[in-house]
């Protein structure tokens, strides 16, 4: 792109808040909350739980089927993980054996790490599972002949379904931490039950039900204890009924002739007995003293949810006819701008809804099956990191806060990993976590994940990005970074035969050299992570003796290696050959999410990274592999490759009717990677930033020639709106702090002076 100005420079307009924007790029503002791409709809209820519409507040989740005759809502909670032995597992005590392993690897024994174990079998982390479902069975007395529609409004988190005069609405409140369900009709005769028998539920569950009539309605509870464990969870549903009669039934309560029912549901995980009466009083306390309790509860929720969701919008000038299509029809139009608009909106909605107590799991916050793939874990060697990629840029500090909550709660476990596996101070993050434990106990010969040392840096990177965006450093992040640096001080002590520092053992998730084994020397990811962690920790602790030591250690780390094919090598150690057909792109960590390798400061390494990306295969076509590829391609300014990777996902039938995604093509294995990562890919294709650089339209796919992205946050403290057409583009920057950055477009670079509180309008010419 060539930027033009009347004076011959790149910037056309620079002014305060009244700066002029060229007519072709003017807009009334962000897309209205009622725009079709800020929600989705279907003309039929969900037949599968995977197609159920989703709501969540980062604690509780709800999967809503929307069937008027059998109204089911599956309830989930982030804390619900089934004991399987992982609750007692500890990391292997291998520190005393580490020097011998290092000696063997440095002496050329490439298989040495295969015996670096205590002989245990593979232990999965505790699996995430659903709690139960609320069920309202029965027909409304009138209106059944009228049309049906179910929908979800991303701006409110409200899932609704209606047929005739019967209407059902569900949301999960961010204000009150409760699932709210409201059903109305001219006459309702319904059986209300709480049911634990969901797919895969263990036969040994100890389940107890309770139902009681209360003034104005009823109370139902369900108590579930895991087999052979003192751990349990309890669900409580308070029903407020208007009209008709309410009586106890064998499995719950029966409502006859009612016109309205309001359900409030919560889940608590616990040991011992839970005080159900206290939980009931807490739910009753939420009911407002007015005649519209649902609306009052919704208004309290909207103050949190809508504010967050509407901060960023994407408008690709899609065809209004396509925007109006139901989701399943739109998914068939794989190159439609309307589809990408809706998936961008759905991705931010689901990411926000899954983040609170914890960040999103492999399945976000939702599952309808007790046999959740890969335990529904937090998988830290790619998946969680990809899902949270857009948190800072798309203005979702709620996601960053949830990630920080997971990290800081587990730092004690991370310290134990460093101590007992490596004999070091500081911290080492696990590759898998169930949210309770941060201990490294999930590993095997084929996946020696206990050897991986780069995880803490990758998990902390979004927190660093968030600090850069807001212009203030969180002391908790500073403290965690210092512990990562302490680990590297103790761990990086060995040298090769030429006297250069080496990282040994070193692991590149989840790959191995073509001529070696999984545990190796100087994996590119480990080198990048160590350099970044040490230098970032020094930045957070300026002027301290530790900062000087950390910088010196980072400067002594070996450089990356370019292999005989001109590609950045996955292992910098000479003699280790690359294995190209793999879903992970761990070796390109320096390109994304780091800024270590880029086309501007390190052009030679940038070209080598681009060559490595071109050589990389897709292995098993996992969604995270394709979108990780797209993120790296965007950083390397390769719009064609971004478009291809997006196309693999859009053409591969990865999305359910819910617009939640799958791990594999043909909607195989429910998984949030594609849904949550896609917004980050689109932002990276349009806008990239570092604390000192802004890159505009680096990798825009040709299929989307015009559009508007509003509200993006940059890492130098400015909010940005970008509008583009086939002929030009306009960026409006609203800086919160005075700073000088480098502006990069396809025509080159120029300095850009930003003044806090003064808008800056950049007009760029023909692309």
Tell me: do 615 and 491 sit in the same domain: yes
pLDDT greater than 70 at residue 19: no
Tell me: do 288 and 345 sit in the same domain: no
* Structure confidence at residue 26 as a pLDDT band (50, 70, 90): low
Helical (H) or strand (E) element with 630 = helix 623-635
The strand pair at 378-379 and 432-433 is best described as antiparallel
Q: How do residues 400-453 score in pLDDT, each as one tens digit?
A: 999 999 999 999 999 999 999 999 999 999 999 999 999 999 999 889 999 999
Across residues 145-164, what is the average pLDDT?
Answer: 93
762 domain-assigned: no
Q: Residue 345: exposed, middle, or buried by beta-carbon count in 10 A (0-12, 13-18, 19+)?
A: buried
* Structure confidence at residue 10 as a pLDDT band (50, 70, 90): very low
Peptide bond into 505 cis (omega under 30): yes
Q: How do residues 80-128 score in pLDDT, each as one tens digit?
A: 999 999 999 999 999 999 999 999 999 999 999 999 999 999 999 999 9
User: Cα separation of 328 and 458, whole Å?
Assistant: 35
Tell me: do 183 and 223 sit in the same domain: yes
* Structure confidence at residue 662 as a pLDDT band (50, 70, 90): very high
Across residues 197-219, what is the average pLDDT?
Answer: 95
212 domain-assigned: yes
Q: Which of 668, 684, 700 is the last residue of a domain?
A: 684
Peptide bond into 510 cis (omega under 30): yes
pLDDT greater than 60 at residue 169: yes
Tell me: do 267 and 145 sit in the same domain: yes
Q: How do residues 602-617 score in pLDDT, each as one tens digit?
A: 999 999 999 999 999 9
Q: How do residues 258-285 score in pLDDT, each as one tens digit?
A: 999 999 999 999 998 899 999 999 999 9
User: Cα separation of 444 and 414, whole Å?
Assistant: 19
User: Cα separation of 73 and 8, whole Å?
Assistant: 61
213 domain-assigned: yes
* pTM for this entry: 0.95
Q: What tokens does 42 get?
A: 């279907």
Tell me: do 291 and 390 sit in the same domain: no
Q: What is the pLDDT of residue 4?
A: 38
User: Cα separation of 422 and 272, whole Å?
Assistant: 37
* Structure confidence at residue 144 as a pLDDT band (50, 70, 90): low
Across residues 622-647, what is the average pLDDT?
Answer: 97
Tell me: do 149 and 294 sit in the same domain: yes
Tell me: do 283 and 340 sit in the same domain: no
Label residues 447-480 b or e (16+ Cβ within 10 Å = b). Answer: bbbbbbbbbbbbbbbbbbbbbbbbeebbeebbeb
Mean pLDDT of the chain, nearest integer: 94
Across residues 376-402, what is the average pLDDT?
Answer: 97
User: Which CATH number do you get for residue 596?
Assistant: 1.50.10.10
Report whether 428 contacts 487 (CB < 8 A). yes
DSSP 570-602: SB-STTPPP----S--GGGTTTTT-SSS-TTT-
Tell me: do 354 and 283 sit in the same domain: no
Across residues 492-519, what is the average pLDDT?
Answer: 93
pLDDT greater than 50 at residue 1: no
Q: How do residues 283-331 score in pLDDT, each as one tens digit?
A: 999 998 877 899 999 999 999 999 999 999 999 999 999 999 999 999 9
Q: What is the pLDDT of residue 30?
A: 44
Tally of domains in the chain: 2
pLDDT greater than 60 at residue 16: no
Q: What is the pLDDT of residue 709?
A: 98
Q: Which of 666, 684, 702 is the last residue of a domain?
A: 684
645 domain-assigned: yes
pLDDT greater than 90 at residue 11: no
Query: Which of 270-279, 355-364, 630-639 is least confident?
Result: 270-279
Contacts of 698 (CB under 8 A, 6+ apart): 634, 635, 637, 639, 684, 685, 686, 688, 744
pLDDT greater than 90 at residue 352: yes
Query: Which of 85-89, 144-148, 379-383 is least confident?
Result: 144-148
9 domain-assigned: no
Beta bridge partners, 731, equal: 722, 762
User: Cα separation of 646 and 640, whole Å?
Assistant: 10
| Angular region, 298: left φ>0, alpha ψ -120 to 50, beta rest | alpha
Across residues 43-60, what is the average pLDDT?
Answer: 98
Ranges of H-type helices in 512-576: 524-540, 545-556
* Structure confidence at residue 141 as a pLDDT band (50, 70, 90): low
Tell me: do 290 and 412 sit in the same domain: no
For residue 416, which of 737, 162, 91 has the smallest C-alpha distance?
91
Determine what percent of the chain is predicted with pLDDT higher than 90: 91
Q: What is the pLDDT of residue 35?
A: 59
Tell me: do 518 and 393 sit in the same domain: yes
Tell me: do 288 and 145 sit in the same domain: yes
User: Which CATH number do you get for residue 137?
Assistant: 2.70.98.50
Q: How do residues 180-199 score in pLDDT, each as one tens digit?
A: 999 999 999 999 999 999 99
697 domain-assigned: no
Q: What is the pLDDT of residue 747?
A: 83
Tell me: do 518 and 449 sit in the same domain: yes
Contacts of 169 (CB under 8 A, 6+ apart): 158, 159, 160, 181, 182, 183, 294
28 domain-assigned: no
Q: Which of 639, 661, 684 is the last residue of a domain?
A: 684
* Structure confidence at residue 767 as a pLDDT band (50, 70, 90): low
Q: How far is CA 689 from the centre of its chain?
A: 20
What is the domain range of residue 146? 57-81+127-310
pLDDT greater than 90 at residue 566: yes
pLDDT greater than 90 at residue 689: yes
Q: What is the pLDDT of residue 9?
A: 37
52 domain-assigned: no
Q: What is the pLDDT of residue 22?
A: 59
Q: What is the pLDDT of residue 251?
A: 87
């Amino acid at each position: 792109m060539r930027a033009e100005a009347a004076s011959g420079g790149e910037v056309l307009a620079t002014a305060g808040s009244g700066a002029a924007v060229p007519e072709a790029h003017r807009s009334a503002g962000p897309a209205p909350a009622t725009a079709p791409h800020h929600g989705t709809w279907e003309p039929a209820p969900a037949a599968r739980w995977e197609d159920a519409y989703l709501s969540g507040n980062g604690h509780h989740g709800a999967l809503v089927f929307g069937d008027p005759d059998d109204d089911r809502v599956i309830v989930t909670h982030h804390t619900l993980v089934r004991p399987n032995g992982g609750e007692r597992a500890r990391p292997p005590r291998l520190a005393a054996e580490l020097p011998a392993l290092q000696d063997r690897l440095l002496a050329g024994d490439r298989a040495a790490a295969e015996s670096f174990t205590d002989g245990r079998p593979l232990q999965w982390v505790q699996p995430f599972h659903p709690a139960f479902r609320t069920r309202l069975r029965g027909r409304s007395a009138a209106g059944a002949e009228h049309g049906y529609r179910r929908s979800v409004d991303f701006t409110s988190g409200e899932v609704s379904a209606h047929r005739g005069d019967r209407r059902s609405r569900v949301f999960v409140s961010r204000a009150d931490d409760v699932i709210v369900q409201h059903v109305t009709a001219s006459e309702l005769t319904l059986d209300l039950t709480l049911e634990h028998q969901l797919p895969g539920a263990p036969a040994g569950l100890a389940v107890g039900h309770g139902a009681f009539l209360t003034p104005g309605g009823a109370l139902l509870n369900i108590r579930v204890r895991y087999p052979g464990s003192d751990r349990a969870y309890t669900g409580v549903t308070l029903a407020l009924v208007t009209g008709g009669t309410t009586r106890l039934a064998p499995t719950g309560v029966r409502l006859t002739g009612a016109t309205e029912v309001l359900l409030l549901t919560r889940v608590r995980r616990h040991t011992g007995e839970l005080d159900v009466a206290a939980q009931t009083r807490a739910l009753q306390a939420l009911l407002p003293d007015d005649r519209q309790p649902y609306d009052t509860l919704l208004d309290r929720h909207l103050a949190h949810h809508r504010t967050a969701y509407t901060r960023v919008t994407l408008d690709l000038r899609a065809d209004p006819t396509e925007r109006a299509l139901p989701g399943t029809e739109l998914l068939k139009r794989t190159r439609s701008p309307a589809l990408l608009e809706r998936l961008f909106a759905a991705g931010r909605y689901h990411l926000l809804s899954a983040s609170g107590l914890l960040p999103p799991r492999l399945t976000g916050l939702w599952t309808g099956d007790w046999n959740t793939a890969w335990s529904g874990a937090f998988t830290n060697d790619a998946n969680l990191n990809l899902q949270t990629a857009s948190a800072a840029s798309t203005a979702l500090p709620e996601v960053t806060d949830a990630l920080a909550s997971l990290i800081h709660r587990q730092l004690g476990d991370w310290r134990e990993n460093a101590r007992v596996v490596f004999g070091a101070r500081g911290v080492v993050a696990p590759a898998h976590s169930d949210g309770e434990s941060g201990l490294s106990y999930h590993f095997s010969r084929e996946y020696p994940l206990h050897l991986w040392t780069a995880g803490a840096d990758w998990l902390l990177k979004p927190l660093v990005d968030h600090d850069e965006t807001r212009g203030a450093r969180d002391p908790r992040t500073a403290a965690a970074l210092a512990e990562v640096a302490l680990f590297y001080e103790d761990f990086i002590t060995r040298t090769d035969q030429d006297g250069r520092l080496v990282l040994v053992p070193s692991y590149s998730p989840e790959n191995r050299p073509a001529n070696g084994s999984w545990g190796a020397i100087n994996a590119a990811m480990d080198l990048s992570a160590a350099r970044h962690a040490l230098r970032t920790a020094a930045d957070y602790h300026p002027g301290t003796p530790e900062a000087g030591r950390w910088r010196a250690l980072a400067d002594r780390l070996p450089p990356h290696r370019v292999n005989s094919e001109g590609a950045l090598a996955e292992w910098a150690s000479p003699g280790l050959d690359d294995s190209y057909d793999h879903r992970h792109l761990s070796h390109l960590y320096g390109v994304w999410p780091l800024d270590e390798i880029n086309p501007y400061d390190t052009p030679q390494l940038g070209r080598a990274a681009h060559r490595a990306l071109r050589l990389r295969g897709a292995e098993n076509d996992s969604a995270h592999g394709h979108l990780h590829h797209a993120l790296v391609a965007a950083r390397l300014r390769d719009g064609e490759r971004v478009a291809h990777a997006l196309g693999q996902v859009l053409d591969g039938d990865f999305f359910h009717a819910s617009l939640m995604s799958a791990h594999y093509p043909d909607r195989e294995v429910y998984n949030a990677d594609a849904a949550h990562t896609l917004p980050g890919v689109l932002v990276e294709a349009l806008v990239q930033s570092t604390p000192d650089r802004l890159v505009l339209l680096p990798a825009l796919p040709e299929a989307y020639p015009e559009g508007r992205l509003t509200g993006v946050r940059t890492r130098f403290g400015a909010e940005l709106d970008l509008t583009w057409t086939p002929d030009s583009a306009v960026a409006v920057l609203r800086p919160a702090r005075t700073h000088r950055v480098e502006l990069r477009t396809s025509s080159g670079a120029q300095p850009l002076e930003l003044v806090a509180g003064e808008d800056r309008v950049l007009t760029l010419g023909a692309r």
